[in-house]
A and B are shown apart, each in its own frame.
Chain A
């Protein structure tokens, strides 16, 4: 019952401690077995695959050591292009997304705002749509000949798919639209933990709302901002459904919207069925994502100080 009695003879039959231990393993077991088979094992199996010249539906796999990695890192301009595209899309999707969400959460948290629930629901709605549906809608909005966006901007005939940077903007727009609401909700929950007295003291000192936002809200929310930055680093680096549906398997005719994950996908399931090489891409990508997340962690903690 108490932790003290647990320390002594532990597995005495019938004791509460032994029953707890037995139940504990039993309850975790179904989860753990499935999780090991379909969650953990594939990660290591992937490492194994990456050491082979391995075609799906092809000849016997042939062990080639680190050759896939050598090719990928020294002789693959398409991969470099995919890395650059991924970062380009990440910057123009994540930074505005998090900033807008932060401002929205701050405004929604103000006492005078009426109909909070309604605004919150409206802003959150995009999050429940599938990425496929989102891309289909924006495909129509960004249409070259009949698109509403070209009409509003007065840019009739502008092709958002062919130009590299324009295609990144279109894709980033879809990402921003879908994720602003989610981040707003997370930030709002964080704001509720900031004491009112901080703001009151600042008001007495003569700080206006905008100053309070930069000098109280952002520093106080630091752990939560950190969380959203790490999550969107991981998510943004693995982006690929939007370019796949908006453009095609190769991210467009000259790979203008090809991302790392899309390249990995296309290599394995497109026309090449080269799973060995694709597995190598996923491991290099993994290293890039982890390094990038750590870098963002470092920058965020440096930039936002208490």
Chain B
């Protein structure tokens, strides 16, 4: 009897938590399918309407989503590929090659991860010196590598690639880069997938740094387009929420099919750290 009550309470707790987690997504959907007039009622309307395509069209006309999507894909794609390559390569060296100073380098990398996010000012000044303001370089080049990426890749290499495997590859006469390319990379796939999703998601969702350095319409990213809608039409709830919704959908589409592997990878990387 007592056991059953415990189970019931556990399930109720899980269901409520899940509903609270999902509800705002539903809310986004509900508002983006209604007119602002319908959303602005008390009690608010929580049933989806039929205005979704009108709202999307409206958002489309008021912000250049095509350019923004194109820019976002270039930025997120370049950074993700670069992070996967340079971070895994550096992590391979730090985890499995002997050279002077590697411990020191790793210590430096980890200690910067524990720093609070740095002020954007010095970076802004460096980027203006390079004349990258209003250029996608400003949001790409500083983020081509990251301390977290190296850290995560090193965790994965240490837990999944045994030193003896590397040694035997060397015995067979493989050069270090061949070892990295033929042996480390294939085994590292789950780790690379995790880093790819985290990186892509982070860049896709970032808006503060882009808002500082990308002031022109031609270089704006999706988040900036949504922010622009919000600044220009701050009373038009349906329009703004639709913007937020259509920029969230692609991430959901990537996340949901891979959620199991992604969650497992993320947990493994953090807990071993």
Contacts and interface: CB of A to CB of B under 8 A. Distances in A.
A21 B14 contact: no
A131 interface: yes
Interface string B239-250: 011011101100
Interface in B241-268: 241, 243-245, 247-248, 251-252, 255-256, 259-260, 263, 266-268
A272 to B, nearest CB: 12
Contacts of A123: 17-18, 21
Contacts of B10: 107, 110, 112-113
B93 A28 contact: yes
Contacts of A113: 10-11, 14
| Chain B interface SS verdict (over half) | helix
Contact of A31 (B6, B25, B44, B86): B86
Interface stretch (B51-59, B62-70, B138-146, B185-193): B138-146
A164 interface: no
Nearest to B180: A27
A13 interface: no
Contacts of B177: 23
A163 B36 CA distance: 26
B94 to A, nearest CB: 7
A190 B21 contact: no
A269 B123 CA distance: 13
B27 A137 contact: yes
Size category of the A interface is 35 or more
B259 A121 contact: yes
B28 interface: yes
Interface of A: 1, 3, 6, 16-17, 19-21, 23-28, 30-32, 34-35, 37-43, 45-46, 49, 100, 103-104, 107-108, 110, 112-113, 117-126, 128-134, 136-138, 140-141, 143, 145-148, 150-151, 156, 177, 180-181, 185-186, 188-190, 193, 209, 224, 227, 230, 234, 237-238, 241, 245, 261, 264-265, 268-269, 275, 278-279, 281-282, 285-286, 289-290, 293
26 contacts: A20-B97, A23-B93, A24-B98, A28-B105, A30-B145, A38-B126, A39-B112, A45-B125, A45-B126, A100-B17, A119-B14, A119-B17, A121-B260, A122-B17, A122-B21, A122-B22, A124-B259, A128-B251, A130-B207, A132-B226, A147-B44, A148-B43, A156-B42, A238-B117, A264-B119, A265-B120
